[in-house]
Amino acid sequence: MKKAILATKVGMTQIFNEDGVLTPVTVLQAGPCAVTQVKTMENDGYSAVQVGFMDKAERLINKPQKGHFDKAGVAPKRFVREFRFENAEEYTVGQEIKVDIFAEGDKIDATATSKGKGYAGAIKRHNFHRGPVTHGSKHHRHIGSNGSATTPGRVWKGKKMAGHMGCERVTIQNLEIVRIDADNNIILVKGSVPGPKKALVMLRETVKSGK
């Protein structure tokens, strides 16, 4: 069975292992999640598992949402996301998913919306080098030439320029689970995870190459 769960980002800290080696970790509040729908090739054209995370007051949902949750037999959820699995039929509607589906040492992929940093120049946004800082250069942090002359006489789409930075979907692959606290639904992941504190993070096991 493919493994996946929804979590919220608590923050970062550091822990020591038995050998006294310090490891920076991200603390994630993961689950428990409820399976709200199982999608199959026959009915939906693709195979996926839909899960809900964090209870939501019934007065805050509309009638179609209430009908969807009532049909699944679960309480209304604040977050609902899908994980595409080839073996989605192994899950059942109403099934509860907890952090104990993972184990220490497992490799996972984390997907979240990165922090928004507003309008940024090309140096900060694309890691450009700055120009000469000598007197009279007039080219300290500018992006340089925007395009060609007569032909084609325009700026190509996709050119790296100043603009809105961050606030986009980011996936970091092959992260290692360092520790699991099943009693408190906590997962400690080695290194950083995209997004600010309280951000929703989608965790799924890393697919090994060749599989």
% of the chain with per-residue pLDDT over 90 = 71
The predicted pLDDT at position 156 comes to 86
Say whether 91 sits in a helix, a strand or coil.
coil
| DSSP sequence for 144-191 | ---S-SSSS-SPPTT---SEEEE-SEEEEEEEEEEEEETTTTEEEEES
pLDDT at 147 over 80: no
Give the global pTM. Answer: 0.84
% of the chain with per-residue pLDDT over 70 = 98
Q: What is the pLDDT of residues 105-129, one digit of tens each?
A: 899 999 999 999 999 999 999 999 9
pLDDT at 210 over 70: no
Q: What is the pLDDT of residues 64-99, one digit of tens each?
A: 999 999 999 999 999 999 999 888 888 899 999 999
CA distances from 198 to 69, 115, 181 (A): 24, 11, 18
Q: What is the pLDDT of residues 153-207, one digit of tens each?
A: 888 888 999 999 999 999 999 999 999 999 999 999 999 999 999 999 999 998 8
